[in-house]
Amino acid sequence: MKKEKHMTYQFTLYPNTEFDFDLLPQFSSEHGVSYHIGFDEGYTITFSSDNFDALDEVSDQLSFLTQTPIS
């Protein structure tokens, strides 16, 4: 029996000054994705999930902000 490879997808978002970080826990939970806040010459948010469709939906909803492609 062949084992399927477990994929985790992610993309990085570069929020603007109006971005409300307080909404991240609820937003991520509702969409079934995880997030990590980092700082690289400004705040970054990396969203990840093993469900590509859920991550794609998050990317679509935040498409007005600068982000990397899902990989």
Tens-place pLDDT, residues 1-43:
555 567 999 999 999 999 999 999 999 999 999 999 999 889 9
Is the distance from CB of 54 to CB of 33 less than 8 angstroms?
A: yes
Give the number of other Cβ atoms within 10 Å of residue 31's Cβ.
Answer: 16
| Predicted pLDDT of residue 6 | 74
Structure-model confidence comparison of residues 69 and 4, the more confident one: 69
- CA dist 32 and 37 (Å) reads 17
